[in-house]
Structure 1
Amino acid sequence: MVNVKQVALLAGVSSATVSRALSAPELLRPVTLKRVQEAIASLDYVPFAAARILRSGRTMSIGIIAPTLMNELYARAVDTLEKQLEALGYTVVLTCHRDNNEIELRCARELLERRVDGIAIIGSQHHPEVFSLIHKHNVPYVLMWATDREGSHPTVGYDNRLAMRRLTAYLVGLGHREFAVLPGPLNTQHLSVQRLEGVKDVLSEHGIALREELVLPTPYEVEPARAAARACLTSPHRPTALICINDFIAVAAIAECRALGRSIPADISVTGFGDWQVAELITPTLTTMRSNPVRIGELTARNIIAQIEGTARRENLQDEFEPELIVRESAAAVKIVAAP
């Protein structure tokens, strides 16, 4: 293994000069720095990370705890976050817990064992010991896709309940009074619960009943989503609008509508949430809420770096924005059937 002494010998400088070239290159004369850099490149020298950590107190690494990367929006946010951090010299360590609390806690422990400088966590509901560990180690962190009205946690995201209120109000404005909802996995996803509450809020305000049998939770899987959509479409209380918790479930529902010969939006309006890329590609194009994962990634990077560098102010630790309603072809006004 190549060491500092070998680099110093090849460059014709001292070991201290090599260390300075790595930690404070601006202090060296350009000609000296060039010789050291050429020696490092020639020998493929890799500095010992532990020594750098001892000198600076930082590992220049950020941990990410995600439920999964099978969700396109999570993947895009993580990609954006990684790009932002990489430009600042940080390395990202990614972990996924797949909605398992014990795995999530283990991910947090392992990241802290690696002495990451900060942690970004997707979601607002987590194993309670995750926060205990983070606070004990005094590591900066940010919750992505989360809001915190009490200011207990640094957050980046939007109000899911409010966002779904806007979407539901749009459908009510189109004349819809018979609704079905595919809310996703209510038992493991807090955002699913929040979005369903947003739907209920608006319907209640307009005196519209949401039938219990037309609220069908499913995992994020094609066949269960299609089966739930089929149950709604063949119900005696046939809905005119089908609200889906995200675009993935909405696309599965549209596929089932086609299989049953139902026209969208003539027979039923279908909406999603997130504005996945497929929302613009499917026919008809999907009316949805734009989640903006790129913005979430950018704001998370800014938030966590401000904490690490000590420039963050408490009142600025909660970054919140409103998703945009994207009106496309899959939702339309209810057809008024003339009396015979």
Structure 2
Amino acid sequence: MVNLKQVAALAGVSSSTVSRAIAAPERLHPETLQKVREAIASLDYVPFAPARVLRSGRTRTIGIVAPTLMNELYARAIDTLESEFLQLGYTGLLTCHRDNHDLELSIVRALIERGVDGLALIGSNHHHDVLSLIRRQKIPYVLMWAVDREHVHPTVGYDNHLAMGRVAEYLVSLGHVGFGVLPGPDDTGQLSNIRLSGIREGLGRQGIALRPQAIIATPYDPEAVRYATRKLLCQANPPTALICNNDFIAAAAIAECRALEISVPGQVSVTGFGDWDLARLGSPSLTTVRSDAVRIGHLSARNLLKQINADGDCMAEQDEFEAELIVRESTSNPSAT
């Protein structure tokens, strides 16, 4: 079996330098690190993980916990975060809790038991024991797509309430006064409620009250969204603007408008949230809010790595940015028929 001394001899460095290349590659000069990595590859050397952990106190692993990967933005942010850590010699351990908070707690416990050096969790709505467990164990962590006005938790994200309020105000500025809202499932909790409250407040600032019958919750199912869209647009006084919780819902709503031969945006304007690929590629292209997933992944990696390198002496840092409203073809003045 190949050992550490053989790698060091081939690379022309000391055994301690090889150890540093494995345990803390960022501390080596790039040329030295390259020599060691070439020697490791040439000899097919596989470090003994328990020994490495004992020497460095780190497993060089990061736990990433997401609700689902069936979300383009989550996948893009995770890919960015994981690739940045991979360049530093870390391995990402990715798992999904599928909106089951008890499962989330079990997953986080398992990752901590495996000795992860840090945790990245998506969202701010978690099992009530998850964050207290992480903090008690003094594990570096970051909440992605989250803000924390109390400055307790390290977070990266934007204010969904304010972002959706700007969408509502933009539509009012075009002249819309009749609104329908497709907020997604009514059992997903915090995010849908935050965005809906942002719509209410944005309209309220313009003197417009959102009627209860103007809000129809649906699962993330295209047929359910299309049926809800039909109900809204077949009312006695149909809305001239549909505000959707995300771009998927908006795309399904536009599909139903097309089936009903209702022009978008000529007869009804439609907005989404997220700026998924389909927002740019659909016809009409979608007015939406840009949820910059790559930026969230990059800032989350930076935030988490800063904590790991500080060895517990780092204050919780909040990285917040403004989500940009992207105006495209799916919105116009209501009299533009």
TM-score, normalised with respect to structure 1: 0.89
1:209 CA displacement: 2.5
Identity of aligned residues (%): 57
- CA distance 1:329–1:274, change in 2 (3 Å): same
Residue in structure 2 matched with residue 115 of structure 1 by the alignment:
115
Letter in 1 for 2:278: V
> Compared with structure 1, are the counterparts of its residues 37 and 87 closer, same or farther at alpha carbon in structure 2 (3 Å cutoff)?
closer
Distance 1:47 1:147 in 2: 39
Match runs of 1:45-64 below 5 Å = 45-64=45-64
Cα distance in 2 between the residues matched to 1:308 and 1:34 = 26
- Of 18, 22, 28 in structure 2, the residue corresponding to residue 21 of structure 1 is 18
* Amino acid in the other structure paired with 1:55: R
Q: Take 1:218 and 1:35, find their aligned partners in 2: how far apart are those partners?
A: 55
Question: What is the CA-CA distance between 1:61 and the residue it aligns to?
Answer: 1.1
RMSD over aligned Cα, in angstroms? 2.6
Q: CA deviation at 1:22?
A: 3.2
CA distance in 1, matches of 2:324, 2:268: 23
Aligned residues: 328
Aligned to 1:71: 71
**Residues 266, 336 of structure 2: 8 Å contact kept:** no
Structure 1 equivalent of residue 211 of structure 2: 211
- Residue 264 of structure 2 aligns to a residue whose secondary structure is coil
Letter in 2 for 1:224: A
Residue 283 (structure 2) aligns with: 283
Listed as ranges, the gaps of 5+ residues in structure 2 are none
Change (3 A) 1:301 1:259: same
**Contact residue 179 and residue 239 of structure 1 kept, 8 A:** yes
1:195 paired to 2:192: no
Tell me if structure 1 keeps the 8 A contact 2:181–2:215. Answer: yes
8 Å Cα contact 1:18/1:36 also seen in 2: no
The corresponding residue for 2:93 is 93
Instruction: Output the amino acid matched with 1:150.
Output: E
Is the CA contact (8 Å cut-off) linking 2:169 and 2:206 kept in structure 1?
no
Equivalent residue, structure 1, for 2:229: 229
Larger Rg, first or second structure (1 or 2): 1
Give the Å deviation of 1:210. Answer: 1.4
Q: Is the 8 A contact 2:183 2:215 kept in 1?
A: yes
Find the counterpart in structure 2 of residue 158 from structure 1. Answer: 158
User: CA shift at 1:202, angstroms?
Assistant: 1.8
Sort the Cα spacing of 1:165 and 1:20 in 2 relative to 1 into closer, same or farther, 3 A: same
**Distance in structure 2 (CA, Å) of the matches to 1:336 and 1:191:** 33
CA distance in 2 between partners of 1:71 and 1:230 (Å): 25
Contact 2:290 2:325 in 1 (8 A): yes
* TM-superposed deviation, 1:76: 0.6
**What is the match of residue 171 of structure 1?**
171
Q: Secondary structure at the match of 2:165?
A: helix
Q: Distance in 1 between matches of 2:35 and 2:314?
A: 40
**Rounded Cα–Cα distance in structure 1 between residues aligned with 2:36 and 2:303:** 38
Alpha carbons 2:182, 2:218 under 8 Å: kept: yes
Q: In the aligned structure 2, how far is the partner of 1:36 from the partner of 1:211?
A: 64
What TM-score, normalized to structure 2?
0.90
Check the 8 A contact 1:286/1:330 in 2, yes or no: yes
Match of residue 254 from structure 1: 254
Deviation at 1:37, TM superposition (A): 5.8
Deviations 1:221-255 (A, max 9, x none): 21211111111111223000000000010001001
Q: Residues 35, 95 of structure 1: CA spacing in aligned structure 2 closer, same or farther, 3 A cutoff?
A: closer
CA distance in 1, matches of 2:294, 2:151: 23
Moved over 6 A (4+): 9-13, 33-36
User: For the residues of structure 2 that align with 1:37 and 1:282, how far apart are their CA atoms?
Assistant: 47
> 2 CA distance for matches of 1:87 and 1:245?
35
Q: Distance in 1 between matches of 2:118 and 2:52?
A: 17
1:108 CA displacement: 0.3
Alpha carbons of structure 1 residues 290 and 37: separation in structure 2 relative to 1, 3 Å: closer
Aligned-partner residue type, residue 145 of structure 2 = W
Structure 1 residue identity aligned to 2:71: N
**Match of 2:309?**
309
2:127 is aligned with what amino acid?
Answer: H
Aligned to 1:272: 272
> In structure 1, what is the equivalent of residue 185 of structure 2?
185
